[in-house]
Amino acid sequence: MSTPWLIELMAAPAALGFALLFNVPPKALWMCGILAVSGHAARKLVLTMDGDIVFGTLLAALLIGIVAELWADRHNQPGVIYAISAAIPMIPGKSMYQSVQALLGIATMAAEDDGTALLIAAGVHGVKAIMIVLALAFGIAAPLLLLPKRSK
C-alpha cells in the first residue's frame, strides 16, 4: 500500500545531500531534513486543498524560513544554513524541463509548421518556474526582514 505522502519524505535525503555539499555542520543536518519534509508537506497540503503551486511554495518557504531563523537563533548559527538546503528540493525542475522541451520543439520544427502551441507551452511553464523560484526566495528572505534582529 503506497501513500502519496511518502514522496514528501524523499525531500529529506535531497536536502541532506545539498547540506553536505554546502558544508553544513553535522549537528545541523537533521534539522535541514526536518525542514525539507515539513516544507514539502506544507506545499502538498495546499495542493490537496486545490491551491496553487506558487502559493503553496510561498507558504512552505515561509514556514522553512521562520523555523530556520527561530532554530538558528537558539543555536547561534545563521538561519540560512538550514533554510537553503531545505528549500532546494522544491526547485521546479519539471516546469523548467517542460519549458526547455517546448523551446527545443520549436527549434527542431520545419519552417512551414506553426509553433504557436509550443511557444505558449514554453511561456506558461517558464513563467510558472520563475514564479515558484521567486516564491522560494521571498519566503526564505521574509523572516530575515520581519523577525527582530539577534543581538551579538
Residue 150 pLDDT: 57
Residue 146 pLDDT: 84
Residue 15 pLDDT: 92
- Residues of the chain scoring pLDDT < 70: 1-4, 150-152
Residue 1 pLDDT: 41
Tens of pLDDT along 59-76?
Answer: 999 999 999 998 888 888
CA-CA distance, 91 to 151, in Å (whole number)? Answer: 33
Residue 111 pLDDT: 80
Indicate the pTM of the whole model: 0.87
CA-CA distance, 148 to 63, in Å (whole number)? Answer: 17
Please give the DSSP secondary-structure letter assigned to residue 91: S
Give the three cell numbers for residue 5.
505522502
